[in-house]
Chains A and B, each alone.
With several copies, the nearest count.
Chain A
Amino acid sequence: MNGKSIYTSVIMAGFGGQGLMFIGKLLAYSAMKRGLHVTWIPSYGPEMRGGTANCTVVVSSEPIGSPVIQKPESLIVMNNPSLEAFEPRLKAGGLLFLNADLVTRPATRTDINVIALPANDEAVRVGEHRAANMVVFGAYVARGGILSRDDVAAGLSGLFGEKAASKLEVNMKAFDAGVKYAQAAPARA
Protein backbone atom coordinates (compact mmCIF):
# COMPACT_ATOMS: atom_id res chain seq x y z
CA MET A 1 0.00 0.00 0.00
CA ASN A 2 1.95 3.09 1.05
CA GLY A 3 5.66 3.46 0.43
CA LYS A 4 7.30 2.15 3.57
CA SER A 5 4.90 -0.63 4.34
CA ILE A 6 5.38 -4.16 3.12
CA TYR A 7 2.66 -6.04 1.31
CA THR A 8 3.00 -8.96 -1.02
CA SER A 9 0.89 -11.85 -2.15
CA VAL A 10 1.82 -15.03 -3.94
CA ILE A 11 0.05 -18.13 -5.17
CA MET A 12 2.05 -21.34 -5.43
CA ALA A 13 0.56 -24.12 -7.51
CA GLY A 14 1.43 -27.56 -8.82
CA PHE A 15 0.77 -31.24 -8.27
CA GLY A 16 0.29 -32.48 -4.75
CA GLY A 17 3.58 -33.77 -3.40
CA GLN A 18 5.72 -31.16 -5.13
CA GLY A 19 6.23 -29.31 -1.88
CA LEU A 20 4.36 -26.15 -2.74
CA MET A 21 2.41 -26.13 0.52
CA PHE A 22 5.72 -26.40 2.27
CA ILE A 23 7.44 -23.45 0.63
CA GLY A 24 4.28 -21.44 1.17
CA LYS A 25 4.44 -22.18 4.87
CA LEU A 26 8.16 -21.51 4.86
CA LEU A 27 7.62 -18.10 3.37
CA ALA A 28 4.88 -17.24 5.83
CA TYR A 29 6.65 -18.70 8.81
CA SER A 30 9.95 -16.98 8.05
CA ALA A 31 8.17 -13.68 7.58
CA MET A 32 6.27 -14.18 10.82
CA LYS A 33 9.58 -14.70 12.60
CA ARG A 34 10.63 -11.37 11.16
CA GLY A 35 7.61 -9.85 12.92
CA LEU A 36 5.48 -9.43 9.86
CA HIS A 37 1.82 -10.25 9.49
CA VAL A 38 1.29 -13.34 7.41
CA THR A 39 -1.49 -15.54 6.14
CA TRP A 40 -1.24 -18.86 4.38
CA ILE A 41 -4.23 -20.60 2.96
CA PRO A 42 -4.31 -23.81 0.97
CA SER A 43 -6.66 -25.04 -1.66
CA TYR A 44 -8.60 -27.80 0.03
CA GLY A 45 -10.93 -30.60 -0.72
CA PRO A 46 -11.30 -33.38 -3.22
CA GLU A 47 -10.11 -31.40 -6.19
CA MET A 48 -6.68 -32.24 -4.80
CA ARG A 49 -7.15 -35.84 -5.90
CA GLY A 50 -4.96 -36.09 -8.95
CA GLY A 51 -5.38 -32.44 -9.75
CA THR A 52 -3.53 -29.39 -8.66
CA ALA A 53 -2.81 -28.17 -5.20
CA ASN A 54 -2.10 -24.58 -4.40
CA CYS A 55 -1.69 -22.16 -1.58
CA THR A 56 -1.80 -18.43 -1.20
CA VAL A 57 0.54 -16.46 1.04
CA VAL A 58 0.21 -12.85 2.03
CA VAL A 59 2.97 -11.02 3.89
CA SER A 60 2.38 -7.56 5.20
CA SER A 61 3.56 -5.04 7.73
CA GLU A 62 -0.11 -4.30 8.51
CA PRO A 63 -2.89 -6.65 9.62
CA ILE A 64 -4.01 -8.60 6.61
CA GLY A 65 -7.46 -8.33 5.14
CA SER A 66 -8.21 -11.18 2.84
CA PRO A 67 -5.98 -14.23 2.80
CA VAL A 68 -7.74 -15.14 -0.43
CA ILE A 69 -6.27 -13.21 -3.32
CA GLN A 70 -7.90 -12.72 -6.67
CA LYS A 71 -4.85 -11.15 -8.36
CA PRO A 72 -1.61 -12.12 -6.68
CA GLU A 73 1.57 -10.18 -7.18
CA SER A 74 3.58 -13.31 -7.77
CA LEU A 75 2.92 -16.79 -8.97
CA ILE A 76 4.94 -19.96 -8.60
CA VAL A 77 3.90 -22.66 -11.01
CA MET A 78 5.13 -26.23 -11.04
CA ASN A 79 2.96 -27.93 -13.66
CA ASN A 80 0.96 -27.32 -16.79
CA PRO A 81 -2.57 -27.37 -15.33
CA SER A 82 -1.54 -24.80 -12.76
CA LEU A 83 -0.23 -22.49 -15.43
CA GLU A 84 -3.56 -22.90 -17.19
CA ALA A 85 -5.47 -22.08 -14.04
CA PHE A 86 -3.47 -19.26 -12.55
CA GLU A 87 -1.64 -17.36 -15.27
CA PRO A 88 -4.73 -15.28 -16.06
CA ARG A 89 -5.01 -14.23 -12.41
CA LEU A 90 -1.49 -12.83 -12.00
CA LYS A 91 -1.45 -9.11 -11.46
CA ALA A 92 -0.27 -7.09 -14.45
CA GLY A 93 3.42 -6.55 -14.00
CA GLY A 94 3.60 -9.47 -11.60
CA LEU A 95 6.27 -12.13 -11.35
CA LEU A 96 5.71 -15.62 -12.68
CA PHE A 97 8.15 -18.32 -11.52
CA LEU A 98 8.07 -21.47 -13.61
CA ASN A 99 9.70 -24.81 -13.10
CA ALA A 100 10.73 -25.16 -16.69
CA ASP A 101 11.45 -28.84 -16.24
CA LEU A 102 7.76 -29.58 -15.77
CA VAL A 103 5.94 -26.68 -17.32
CA THR A 104 6.22 -27.50 -20.96
CA ARG A 105 4.33 -24.65 -22.52
CA PRO A 106 5.36 -21.02 -22.40
CA ALA A 107 3.42 -18.33 -20.57
CA THR A 108 1.09 -16.48 -22.87
CA ARG A 109 0.74 -13.12 -21.20
CA THR A 110 3.07 -10.35 -22.15
CA ASP A 111 2.33 -7.96 -19.29
CA ILE A 112 4.11 -10.04 -16.70
CA ASN A 113 7.67 -10.99 -15.78
CA VAL A 114 8.51 -14.64 -16.27
CA ILE A 115 11.36 -16.36 -14.45
CA ALA A 116 11.64 -19.87 -15.81
CA LEU A 117 14.22 -22.13 -14.23
CA PRO A 118 15.12 -25.82 -14.53
CA ALA A 119 14.33 -26.53 -10.93
CA ASN A 120 14.40 -30.29 -11.15
CA ASP A 121 17.80 -30.29 -12.79
CA GLU A 122 19.15 -27.89 -10.23
CA ALA A 123 17.71 -30.00 -7.43
CA VAL A 124 19.36 -33.11 -8.76
CA ARG A 125 22.57 -31.17 -9.12
CA VAL A 126 22.61 -30.20 -5.44
CA GLY A 127 21.90 -33.79 -4.48
CA GLU A 128 18.24 -33.79 -3.45
CA HIS A 129 15.90 -34.47 -6.33
CA ARG A 130 12.87 -33.63 -4.19
CA ALA A 131 14.09 -30.09 -3.53
CA ALA A 132 12.90 -28.51 -6.77
CA ASN A 133 10.46 -26.53 -4.67
CA MET A 134 13.36 -24.94 -2.78
CA VAL A 135 15.06 -24.01 -6.02
CA VAL A 136 12.03 -22.11 -7.20
CA PHE A 137 11.60 -20.65 -3.74
CA GLY A 138 15.14 -19.36 -3.87
CA ALA A 139 14.35 -17.57 -7.08
CA TYR A 140 11.17 -16.17 -5.59
CA VAL A 141 12.86 -14.88 -2.47
CA ALA A 142 15.65 -13.39 -4.50
CA ARG A 143 13.19 -11.44 -6.58
CA GLY A 144 10.60 -10.85 -3.86
CA GLY A 145 12.87 -8.76 -1.70
CA ILE A 146 11.14 -9.38 1.61
CA LEU A 147 13.17 -12.16 3.16
CA SER A 148 16.91 -12.52 3.54
CA ARG A 149 18.78 -15.79 3.20
CA ASP A 150 19.11 -15.84 6.98
CA ASP A 151 15.39 -15.41 7.41
CA VAL A 152 14.81 -18.46 5.27
CA ALA A 153 17.47 -20.51 7.02
CA ALA A 154 15.94 -19.59 10.37
CA GLY A 155 12.50 -20.40 9.08
CA LEU A 156 13.63 -23.74 7.76
CA SER A 157 15.22 -24.83 10.99
CA GLY A 158 12.15 -23.63 12.85
CA LEU A 159 9.91 -25.77 10.67
CA PHE A 160 12.21 -28.78 10.54
CA GLY A 161 13.08 -28.73 14.21
CA GLU A 162 16.54 -29.34 15.65
CA LYS A 163 17.27 -32.80 14.39
CA ALA A 164 17.36 -32.14 10.69
CA ALA A 165 20.59 -30.23 10.18
CA SER A 166 21.55 -32.21 7.09
CA LYS A 167 18.14 -31.72 5.54
CA LEU A 168 18.54 -28.04 6.22
CA GLU A 169 21.81 -27.91 4.44
CA VAL A 170 20.77 -29.56 1.21
CA ASN A 171 17.61 -27.49 1.11
CA MET A 172 19.56 -24.29 1.49
CA LYS A 173 21.84 -25.44 -1.29
CA ALA A 174 18.83 -25.84 -3.53
CA PHE A 175 17.61 -22.45 -2.36
CA ASP A 176 20.94 -20.86 -3.25
CA ALA A 177 20.82 -22.44 -6.68
CA GLY A 178 17.48 -20.78 -7.22
CA VAL A 179 18.74 -17.46 -5.96
CA LYS A 180 21.65 -17.59 -8.35
CA TYR A 181 19.43 -18.50 -11.20
CA ALA A 182 17.06 -15.66 -10.53
CA GLN A 183 19.83 -13.13 -10.29
CA ALA A 184 21.25 -14.31 -13.59
CA ALA A 185 18.07 -14.86 -15.52
CA PRO A 186 16.77 -11.99 -17.56
CA ALA A 187 13.19 -11.30 -16.72
CA ARG A 188 11.08 -11.19 -19.81
CA ALA A 189 9.06 -8.04 -19.58
Chain B
Amino acid sequence: MNTEAQEMERIFERPRALRSATTHYCPGCGHGITHRLVAEVIDELGIRETIVGVAPVGCSVLMYNYFDIDMFEASHGRAPAIATGFKRARPDLPVFTYQGDGDLAAIGIAETIHAAARGEKFTTIFINNATYGMTGGQMAPTTLVGQKTATSPTGRNCETAGYPIKVCEMLATLDAPSYIARVSVSSAKHVLKAKQAISKAFQLQLKGFPYTFVEVLSPCPTDWHMTPQEAVEWLEENMFPQYPLGEVKAPKEGV
Protein backbone atom coordinates (compact mmCIF):
# COMPACT_ATOMS: atom_id res chain seq x y z
CA MET B 1 0.00 0.00 0.00
CA ASN B 2 2.71 2.37 0.97
CA THR B 3 4.57 2.04 -2.24
CA GLU B 4 1.34 2.12 -4.15
CA ALA B 5 0.35 5.41 -2.52
CA GLN B 6 3.57 6.93 -3.63
CA GLU B 7 2.74 6.10 -7.16
CA MET B 8 -0.82 7.37 -6.97
CA GLU B 9 -1.88 10.94 -7.17
CA ARG B 10 -5.17 12.25 -5.84
CA ILE B 11 -7.28 13.27 -8.78
CA PHE B 12 -10.51 13.94 -6.94
CA GLU B 13 -10.88 15.39 -3.51
CA ARG B 14 -13.06 17.67 -1.44
CA PRO B 15 -12.88 21.19 -2.84
CA ARG B 16 -11.25 23.81 -0.73
CA ALA B 17 -14.41 25.90 -0.64
CA LEU B 18 -16.26 23.11 1.16
CA ARG B 19 -15.55 22.60 4.81
CA SER B 20 -14.82 19.13 6.06
CA ALA B 21 -18.21 18.86 7.71
CA THR B 22 -20.97 16.28 7.60
CA THR B 23 -24.07 17.84 6.12
CA HIS B 24 -27.52 17.47 7.58
CA TYR B 25 -28.85 16.39 4.19
CA CYS B 26 -30.57 13.08 3.78
CA PRO B 27 -28.77 10.26 2.01
CA GLY B 28 -28.93 10.76 -1.74
CA CYS B 29 -29.99 14.41 -1.59
CA GLY B 30 -29.14 16.56 -4.59
CA HIS B 31 -28.19 19.51 -2.41
CA GLY B 32 -24.96 17.73 -1.48
CA ILE B 33 -23.98 17.15 -5.09
CA THR B 34 -24.79 20.70 -6.11
CA HIS B 35 -22.91 22.12 -3.17
CA ARG B 36 -19.83 20.30 -4.31
CA LEU B 37 -20.20 21.51 -7.88
CA VAL B 38 -20.51 25.11 -6.78
CA ALA B 39 -17.52 24.69 -4.49
CA GLU B 40 -15.45 23.13 -7.27
CA VAL B 41 -16.27 26.00 -9.59
CA ILE B 42 -15.36 28.51 -6.89
CA ASP B 43 -12.04 26.75 -6.46
CA GLU B 44 -11.36 26.51 -10.15
CA LEU B 45 -12.10 30.18 -10.71
CA GLY B 46 -10.00 31.11 -7.70
CA ILE B 47 -12.70 33.20 -6.10
CA ARG B 48 -13.08 31.56 -2.71
CA GLU B 49 -11.70 34.61 -0.96
CA THR B 50 -13.84 37.12 -2.80
CA ILE B 51 -17.17 35.46 -3.42
CA VAL B 52 -20.20 36.05 -1.24
CA GLY B 53 -23.09 33.60 -1.22
CA VAL B 54 -26.68 33.93 -0.14
CA ALA B 55 -28.29 30.88 1.44
CA PRO B 56 -32.06 30.43 1.19
CA VAL B 57 -34.56 29.21 3.72
CA GLY B 58 -35.10 25.60 2.84
CA CYS B 59 -33.14 22.43 3.44
CA SER B 60 -29.99 24.29 2.42
CA VAL B 61 -30.46 27.05 4.98
CA LEU B 62 -27.37 25.86 6.83
CA MET B 63 -25.14 25.80 3.74
CA TYR B 64 -22.90 28.44 5.33
CA ASN B 65 -21.85 25.68 7.69
CA TYR B 66 -20.51 23.78 4.71
CA PHE B 67 -19.06 26.46 2.47
CA ASP B 68 -15.91 28.13 3.64
CA ILE B 69 -16.84 31.50 2.18
CA ASP B 70 -18.59 34.64 3.37
CA MET B 71 -22.33 34.10 3.32
CA PHE B 72 -25.69 35.61 4.05
CA GLU B 73 -28.61 33.67 5.31
CA ALA B 74 -31.67 35.10 3.58
CA SER B 75 -35.25 35.16 4.66
CA HIS B 76 -37.50 32.79 2.75
CA GLY B 77 -37.56 33.88 -0.89
CA ARG B 78 -35.61 37.11 -0.53
CA ALA B 79 -32.14 35.95 -1.50
CA PRO B 80 -32.24 37.85 -4.82
CA ALA B 81 -33.04 41.11 -3.04
CA ILE B 82 -30.21 40.54 -0.60
CA ALA B 83 -27.83 39.68 -3.42
CA THR B 84 -28.96 42.81 -5.24
CA GLY B 85 -28.35 45.02 -2.22
CA PHE B 86 -24.97 43.49 -1.64
CA LYS B 87 -23.82 43.48 -5.23
CA ARG B 88 -24.85 47.10 -5.67
CA ALA B 89 -22.66 47.96 -2.73
CA ARG B 90 -19.80 45.69 -3.75
CA PRO B 91 -19.86 45.34 -7.55
CA ASP B 92 -16.28 44.12 -7.36
CA LEU B 93 -17.15 40.86 -5.60
CA PRO B 94 -18.75 37.81 -7.22
CA VAL B 95 -22.10 36.96 -5.66
CA PHE B 96 -24.47 34.02 -5.91
CA THR B 97 -27.76 32.94 -4.45
CA TYR B 98 -28.67 29.33 -3.88
CA GLN B 99 -32.39 28.74 -3.68
CA GLY B 100 -34.97 25.99 -3.52
CA ASP B 101 -38.10 25.88 -5.60
CA GLY B 102 -40.38 26.92 -2.78
CA ASP B 103 -38.01 29.72 -1.97
CA LEU B 104 -37.45 30.92 -5.52
CA ALA B 105 -40.58 30.00 -7.42
CA ALA B 106 -43.26 30.47 -4.75
CA ILE B 107 -42.65 33.10 -2.10
CA GLY B 108 -39.67 34.61 -3.87
CA ILE B 109 -40.77 34.67 -7.50
CA ALA B 110 -41.16 38.45 -7.50
CA GLU B 111 -37.65 39.05 -6.24
CA THR B 112 -36.26 36.58 -8.76
CA ILE B 113 -38.08 38.05 -11.74
CA HIS B 114 -37.14 41.58 -10.85
CA ALA B 115 -33.49 40.82 -10.17
CA ALA B 116 -33.46 39.08 -13.54
CA ALA B 117 -35.33 41.91 -15.28
CA ARG B 118 -32.88 44.45 -13.89
CA GLY B 119 -30.01 42.26 -14.97
CA GLU B 120 -28.42 42.15 -11.55
CA LYS B 121 -24.91 40.88 -11.89
CA PHE B 122 -25.07 37.79 -9.72
CA THR B 123 -25.62 34.10 -10.31
CA THR B 124 -28.54 32.09 -9.06
CA ILE B 125 -28.38 28.35 -8.48
CA PHE B 126 -31.94 27.09 -8.36
CA ILE B 127 -32.57 23.68 -6.81
CA ASN B 128 -35.73 22.26 -8.29
CA ASN B 129 -36.69 19.20 -6.29
CA ALA B 130 -40.39 19.55 -6.98
CA THR B 131 -41.25 19.89 -3.32
CA TYR B 132 -40.69 21.81 -0.10
CA GLY B 133 -37.99 19.66 1.40
CA MET B 134 -37.44 21.38 4.68
CA THR B 135 -40.99 21.70 5.88
CA GLY B 136 -41.85 18.10 5.16
CA GLY B 137 -42.65 17.72 1.52
CA GLN B 138 -45.48 20.06 0.65
CA MET B 139 -46.45 20.95 -2.89
CA ALA B 140 -44.11 23.38 -4.64
CA PRO B 141 -44.83 25.48 -7.73
CA THR B 142 -42.64 22.95 -9.54
CA THR B 143 -44.47 19.87 -8.27
CA LEU B 144 -45.58 17.77 -11.22
CA VAL B 145 -49.21 17.22 -12.06
CA GLY B 146 -50.27 14.08 -10.26
CA GLN B 147 -47.35 14.15 -7.84
CA LYS B 148 -48.32 13.32 -4.28
CA THR B 149 -47.11 15.64 -1.57
CA ALA B 150 -48.16 16.51 1.95
CA THR B 151 -50.49 19.20 0.60
CA SER B 152 -51.54 17.31 -2.51
CA PRO B 153 -52.13 13.93 -0.89
CA THR B 154 -54.05 12.59 -3.87
CA GLY B 155 -51.60 14.05 -6.37
CA ARG B 156 -51.37 17.58 -7.72
CA ASN B 157 -54.68 18.29 -9.39
CA CYS B 158 -54.24 20.75 -12.22
CA GLU B 159 -57.88 21.80 -12.01
CA THR B 160 -57.42 23.23 -8.53
CA ALA B 161 -53.67 23.64 -8.13
CA GLY B 162 -52.64 24.50 -11.65
CA TYR B 163 -49.53 23.50 -13.51
CA PRO B 164 -45.84 23.54 -12.64
CA ILE B 165 -43.93 26.71 -13.47
CA LYS B 166 -41.03 26.40 -15.87
CA VAL B 167 -38.84 29.02 -14.35
CA CYS B 168 -36.11 29.01 -16.98
CA GLU B 169 -38.56 29.53 -19.78
CA MET B 170 -40.33 32.26 -17.85
CA LEU B 171 -37.12 34.14 -17.13
CA ALA B 172 -36.09 33.76 -20.74
CA THR B 173 -38.89 36.17 -21.71
CA LEU B 174 -36.83 38.90 -20.04
CA ASP B 175 -34.22 40.88 -21.92
CA ALA B 176 -31.56 41.28 -19.28
CA PRO B 177 -30.47 37.80 -18.18
CA SER B 178 -27.40 36.67 -20.04
CA TYR B 179 -27.43 32.99 -19.19
CA ILE B 180 -30.23 30.61 -18.31
CA ALA B 181 -29.74 26.87 -18.24
CA ARG B 182 -31.34 23.78 -16.80
CA VAL B 183 -29.28 20.82 -15.65
CA SER B 184 -29.71 17.71 -13.54
CA VAL B 185 -27.69 15.96 -10.86
CA SER B 186 -29.44 12.64 -11.27
CA SER B 187 -26.42 10.78 -12.67
CA ALA B 188 -22.70 11.27 -12.96
CA LYS B 189 -23.10 12.11 -16.62
CA HIS B 190 -25.55 14.87 -15.87
CA VAL B 191 -23.45 16.05 -12.99
CA LEU B 192 -20.62 16.76 -15.39
CA LYS B 193 -22.89 18.90 -17.56
CA ALA B 194 -24.33 20.58 -14.51
CA LYS B 195 -20.89 21.65 -13.48
CA GLN B 196 -20.17 23.08 -16.89
CA ALA B 197 -23.30 25.19 -16.72
CA ILE B 198 -22.54 26.41 -13.22
CA SER B 199 -19.04 27.24 -14.24
CA LYS B 200 -20.24 29.12 -17.30
CA ALA B 201 -22.67 31.13 -15.21
CA PHE B 202 -19.97 32.18 -12.76
CA GLN B 203 -17.52 32.94 -15.53
CA LEU B 204 -20.02 35.16 -17.28
CA GLN B 205 -20.64 36.98 -14.03
CA LEU B 206 -16.92 37.53 -13.60
CA LYS B 207 -16.87 39.02 -17.09
CA GLY B 208 -19.57 41.49 -16.10
CA PHE B 209 -22.51 39.80 -17.79
CA PRO B 210 -25.88 40.41 -16.18
CA TYR B 211 -27.99 37.85 -14.33
CA THR B 212 -26.98 34.24 -14.79
CA PHE B 213 -29.24 31.41 -13.74
CA VAL B 214 -28.84 27.65 -13.48
CA GLU B 215 -31.76 25.43 -12.58
CA VAL B 216 -30.72 22.09 -11.11
CA LEU B 217 -33.15 19.18 -11.14
CA SER B 218 -32.39 17.55 -7.85
CA PRO B 219 -33.65 14.46 -6.06
CA CYS B 220 -35.34 14.65 -2.67
CA PRO B 221 -35.60 10.99 -1.71
CA THR B 222 -37.01 11.73 1.72
CA ASP B 223 -39.99 13.82 0.73
CA TRP B 224 -40.59 11.82 -2.41
CA HIS B 225 -40.72 8.78 -0.12
CA MET B 226 -38.26 6.90 -2.26
CA THR B 227 -34.84 5.35 -2.00
CA PRO B 228 -32.07 7.44 -3.54
CA GLN B 229 -32.04 5.08 -6.50
CA GLU B 230 -35.78 5.33 -7.02
CA ALA B 231 -35.52 9.07 -6.69
CA VAL B 232 -33.02 9.58 -9.49
CA GLU B 233 -35.00 7.26 -11.70
CA TRP B 234 -38.25 9.04 -10.95
CA LEU B 235 -36.55 12.34 -11.62
CA GLU B 236 -35.30 11.35 -15.05
CA GLU B 237 -38.53 9.69 -15.99
CA ASN B 238 -40.89 12.38 -14.81
CA MET B 239 -39.06 15.65 -14.45
CA PHE B 240 -37.05 15.50 -17.67
CA PRO B 241 -40.14 15.64 -19.89
CA GLN B 242 -41.58 18.57 -17.95
CA TYR B 243 -38.29 20.40 -17.53
CA PRO B 244 -36.16 19.95 -20.63
CA LEU B 245 -32.44 20.17 -19.98
CA GLY B 246 -30.14 22.53 -21.77
CA GLU B 247 -29.24 26.17 -22.23
CA VAL B 248 -32.36 28.24 -22.61
CA LYS B 249 -30.44 31.43 -23.12
CA ALA B 250 -26.73 32.12 -23.55
CA PRO B 251 -24.66 34.97 -24.89
CA LYS B 252 -23.86 34.81 -28.56
CA GLU B 253 -20.16 35.06 -27.88
CA GLY B 254 -18.81 31.90 -26.33
CA VAL B 255 -17.08 32.03 -22.99
Direct contact of A and B (CB under 8 A): yes
Q: Does the CB pair B134–A50 fall under 8 Å?
A: no
Contact check, A46 vs B27: say whether CB atoms are below 8 A apart.
no
Q: How far is the CA of A50 from the CA of B25 in the complex (A)?
A: 7
8 Å CB interface, A19-78 against B: 46-47, 49-51
A47 / chain B contacts, CB cutoff of 8 Å: 24
Contact status B26-A46, CB under 8 Å:
no
With the chains together, A49 CA to B26 CA distance in Å?
6
* A91 and B104 alpha carbons, distance in the complex (Å): 46
CA distance A51 to B25 in the complex (A): 10
Among B24, B27, B61, which residue has the most Cβ atoms of chain A within 10 A? B24
Chain A contributes a number of interface residues (CB within 8 A of B) equal to 5
A49 to B59, CA, bound (A): 9
Distance to closest chain A CB from B80 (angstroms) = 23
Contact with A along B60-71 (1 / 0, CB 8 A): 010000000000
For residue B157, CB closer than 8 A to chain A, the reply is no
Residue of B nearest to A51 (CB): B24
Within 8 A of A (CB), among B7-61: 24-27, 59, 61
A46 to B60: give the CA distance in the assembly, Å. Answer: 11
For the complex, give the distance between the alpha carbons of A51 and B62 in Å.
15
Task: Write the nearest CB–CB distance from B26 to chain A, whole angstroms.
Answer: 6
Taken together as a complex, chains A and B put the C-alpha atoms of A46 and B134 apart, in Å, by: 6
* Residue of B whose beta carbon sits closest to that of A47: B24
Q: Across the interface, which residues of A come within 8 angstroms of B61, CB to CB? A: 46
- By beta carbon, the residue of chain B nearest A44 is B136
Q: Hey, which chain A residues are within 8 Å of B222, CB to CB?
A: 49
Q: Which residue of the partner chain A has the closest CB to B135?
A: A46
Chain B residue with Cβ nearest A46: B134
- Residues from chain A with Cβ under 8 Å of B59 in the complex: 46, 49
A47 to B134 CA separation, bound complex (whole angstroms): 10
Kindly provide the distance from the CB of A18 to the nearest chain B CB, expressed in whole angstroms.
Answer: 16
- Nearest Cβ in chain B — how far from A26, in angstroms? 22
Residues of B within 8 A of A49 (CB): 24-26, 59, 222
- Cβ contacts A126-144/B at 8 Å (1 or 0 each): 0000000000000000000
State in angstroms the CA–CA spacing of A47 and B24 once bound together. Answer: 8
Nearest chain A CB to B212 CB, angstrom units? 29
Chain A's nearest CB lies how many Å from the CB of B241?
Answer: 29
Query: Whole-angstrom distance between the alpha carbons of A46 and B23 in the complex?
Result: 12
B222 (CB) vs chain A CBs: closest residue: A49
**Bound CA–CA A50/B26 (angstroms):** 6
A137 to B25, CA, bound (A): 30
Output the least CB separation between B189 and chain A (Å): 27
Shortest CB distance A47–B (Å): 8
CB distance from A84 to the nearest CB of B (A): 15
A49–B220 CA distance with the chains assembled, in angstroms: 12
Residues of B close to A50: CB separation below 8 A: 24-27
Nearest first, the 6 closest Cβ-Cβ pairs linking A and B are A49-B24, A49-B26, A46-B134, A50-B26, A50-B24, A46-B24
A interface, CB within 8 angstroms of B: 46-47, 49-51
Beyond the given pairs A46-B59, A49-B222, 13 more chain A to chain B contacts, judged by CB atoms under 8 angstroms and listed by A's residue number, are A46-B24, A46-B61, A46-B134, A47-B24, A49-B24, A49-B25, A49-B26, A49-B59, A50-B24, A50-B25, A50-B26, A50-B27, A51-B24
> Could you jot down 15 A-B contacts, CB within 8 Å?
A46-B24, A46-B59, A46-B61, A46-B134, A47-B24, A49-B24, A49-B25, A49-B26, A49-B59, A49-B222, A50-B24, A50-B25, A50-B26, A50-B27, A51-B24
